[in-house]
Amino acid sequence: MSAKQLTLPLDQEQINGLRAGDRVELTGWMYTARDAAHKRMAESLQVGEELPVELVGQTIYYVGPTPAKPGQVIGSAGPTTSSRMDPYTPALLALGLKGMIGKGSRSETVKQAIVQAQAVYFAAIGGAGALIAKTIRAAEMVAYHDLGTEAIYRLEVERFPVIVINDIAGGDLYQQSQSL
């Protein structure tokens, strides 16, 4: 099965066509954010502040890239465990976030929020950070500079490989594979 080619930012038509288990290659711009950035965004929302990036239609990759070596755009860029972002995810989905990339399963609350927001959760291959980094064409730190590798970056990717885990219909690849 060949991978579906999608352009970021995602639009609803693209998301509607995805089902758990689909192989996808993403091309375009996405943001990165890990635990510390998610916590800071939640704190900003709690006090009524605007977020440093517009999330409508955007995709967040749960990664803290390592520093780039000379001649590289970025260092290793493998996914981190997504469940650590679960306490913050429903609020971000409510603000228009449409895609998330990480590794591991999501809580029932997040899966319900994905369906409600008509969004999608992708998994990237854990342990393949150096390989994934080869799909990143540009990287710029855009917010929370004091967090270092956990700052929010904007990445340009080309044919970034992911698999749909949770879709708009409530499909869950992890649950499907357990029932086989």
Q: Work out the burial of residue 40: count CB atoms within 10 Å of its CB; fewer than 13 is exposed, 13-18 middle, 19 or more buried.
A: buried
Identify which of 10, 53, 30, 39 has the alpha carbon closest to the alpha carbon of residue 132: 30
C-alpha distance from residue 121 to each of 44, 114, 140 (Å): 24, 8, 23
pTM of the model: 0.94
C-alpha distance from residue 32 to each of 13, 19, 21, 72 (Å): 23, 23, 23, 18
Both structure tokens of 81: 């465990």
Q: Are 16 and 49 in contact (CB under 8 A)?
A: no
Q: Mean pLDDT in each 10-residue stretch from start to end of the chain (180 residues)?
A: 93 96 98 97 96 97 89 90 97 97 97 98 86 90 94 96 97 81
Task: Provide the 10 A C-beta neighbour count for residue 69.
Answer: 9
Amino acid 147 reads L
Task: Please tell me the distance from the alpha carbon of residue 18 to that of residue 166, in angstroms, as a whole number.
Answer: 9
Which pLDDT does position 69 carry in this prediction? 86
Both structure tokens of 180: 């086989």
